[in-house]
Amino acid sequence: MNMQQTIDPAGAAAAEPAARVPSKAAIADDKVMLRAARDLTRDLAEARPAIYWTDMLLSAGLGYAALAGAILVGSAPLAVALGVVAALALYRALLFIHELTHIHRDALPGFRLGWNLVVGVPVLTPSFMYEGVHTLHHARTRYGTAEDPEYLPLALMKWWSLPMFVLIALLLPVALLFRFAVLVPLGAVIPPVRKLVWERFSALSINPDFRRRAPEGDLRKRVFWQELGGCLWALALIGSVFALGWRPLLIALAVLSLAAVLNQLRTLVAHLWENEGEPMTVTAQFLDSVNVPPPGRIAEIWAPVGLRYHALHHLLPSMPYHSLGEAHRRLAGHLGGDSTYDGANHPGMWTLVARIARSTMRAR
């Protein structure tokens, strides 16, 4: 899930494409791999509500408790440590927004509402900001093209695109606070503002050219209630300054900024970003995406809720996050180390960052 992420992050990445990586658009589909992905994982496709609810609630509870501790303790080192714990726990809780975009609406009764009440609205990232957006990234003919809201050819851009892409995420919590506290009320009375806010500032996308279409059906109703809740909460946060001072709000914003930067780093290494805009086969999309499987354990911290298996997720987008580890073990064992499947497996974040950085350094 690309949360994260800035609302319009890549003014940073609006560099001219430069370095040239061999195109993956011509890669043919590996039908053996695709068939195995389908046949070997059929029994893993059911979402287990107990896992979802327990994981989400424990993550959110730990995050809020640590955040309260960071605000209340008098020791600066302890406050920083608690802030880091809060950022990691809330980051994990927030990434369930990715699951909400893929699970069947009847699979987890009440989970969308519960997540929005516990996480989405309190951190000003309700589920509508990803629903109807992330699925475009998975559309067969959109991935890696100009119509993909979650794709930029970062490996082909100037070197300075990468640090700007990551660091601009620091501003995301403040931007969200401004969106819900100022722009939403203005949009309620000024239709052109409302249109601008919806098209430009209502999606967790990284493509600066993406314009969101008006919501339809059930999503339209959810948008109304989620925006109303977000607006009231944002105004309450600003109003809290008069009663509690600036410290609690600033610490909360700092914690969420850290979570946003971590998510942006994860987004940076979720793909290889080597496509120049051509439609790609499913296998090509898979090889442009990234798995960071065990034995490394740290990936479960920076890519939680199944996102360490991002390439596998592109093969099986509806597979619940708690089944991806087993699905990976089955496919890796069945297809072997010299297979196409193994080509999307990578050792860790910094190896991937270095690969993309080297590509940008070749920019002319």
Mean of pLDDT over the chain: 91
| pLDDT score, position 16 | 40
Give domain status of residue 35, yes or no: yes
Token pair for 87: 């950022």
Q: How far apart are CA 209 and CA 8, in angstroms?
A: 9
Nearby residues of 211 by Cβ (< 8 Å), 6 or more positions away: 199, 200
263's enclosing H/E stretch is helix 247-268
Q: Supply the pLDDT for residue 159.
A: 87
* Distance between CA atoms of residues 316 and 324, nearest Å: 9
How far is CA 167 from its chain centroid?
A: 16
Q: What is the pLDDT of residue 141?
A: 87
Q: 123-149 pLDDT, tens per residue?
A: 999 999 999 899 999 988 899 888 999
Running DSSP on this structure, what letter comes out for residue 181? I
Does residue 244 belong to any structural domain of this protein? Answer: yes
pLDDT of residue 24: 66
In sign, the C-alpha dihedral spanning 278, 210, 156, 137 is: negative
Within a domain: residue 127? yes
Q: Is the pLDDT of residue 347 over 80?
A: yes
pLDDT surpassing 90 at residue 269: yes
Structural domain span for residue 110: 9-361
Sort 215 into a burial class: Cβ within 10 Å, 0-12 / 13-18 / 19+. middle
DSSP 340: T
Q: Is residue 280 part of a domain?
A: yes
Q: Which residue has the tokens 């608690």?
A: 82
pLDDT tens-digit readout, 59-108: 999 999 999 999 999 899 999 999 999 999 999 999 999 999 998 878 89
Residue % of the chain over a pLDDT of 70: 93
Q: What is the pLDDT of residue 79?
A: 97
Over range 201-226, report the average pLDDT. 93
Q: How far apart are CA 205 and CA 135, in angstroms?
A: 12
2 within a domain of the structure (yes/no): no
Give the model's pLDDT for residue 121: 98
Instruction: Kindly report the number of other CB atoms within 10 A of residue 70's CB atom.
Output: 23
pLDDT of residue 13: 38
Asked if 270 and 2 touch (Cβ cutoff 8 Å), the reply is yes
Residue 1, domain member (yes or no): no
Supply the pLDDT for residue 217: 87
pLDDT tens digit sequence for 34-55:
999 999 999 999 999 999 999 9
The phi, psi pair for 204, rounded to 5°, reads: -85, 80
In a 3-state reduction of DSSP, which class is residue 213?
Answer: coil
- Is a pLDDT exceeding 70 seen at residue 251? yes
Q: Average pLDDT in the 187-216 region?
A: 94
Q: How confident is the model at residue 348 (pLDDT cuts 50, 70, 90)?
A: very high
Q: Is the pLDDT score of 332 beyond 70? A: yes
Q: Among candidates 36, 33, 84, 42, which has minimal Cα distance to 63?
A: 84
pLDDT at 11: 38
Task: Write out pLDDT tens, residues 296-327.
Answer: 889 999 999 999 999 999 999 999 999 999 99
pTM comes to 0.91
Domains in the chain, number: 1
Angle at 252 between CA 226 and CA 299, to 5 degrees: 85
| Gap between the Cα atoms of 44 and 324, Å rounded | 8
Give the contacts of 88 (CB within 8 A, at least 6 positions apart). Answer: 63, 259, 262, 301
pLDDT in tens, 8-28: 333 333 334 334 445 666 789
Mean pLDDT, range 267-293, rounded to an integer: 93
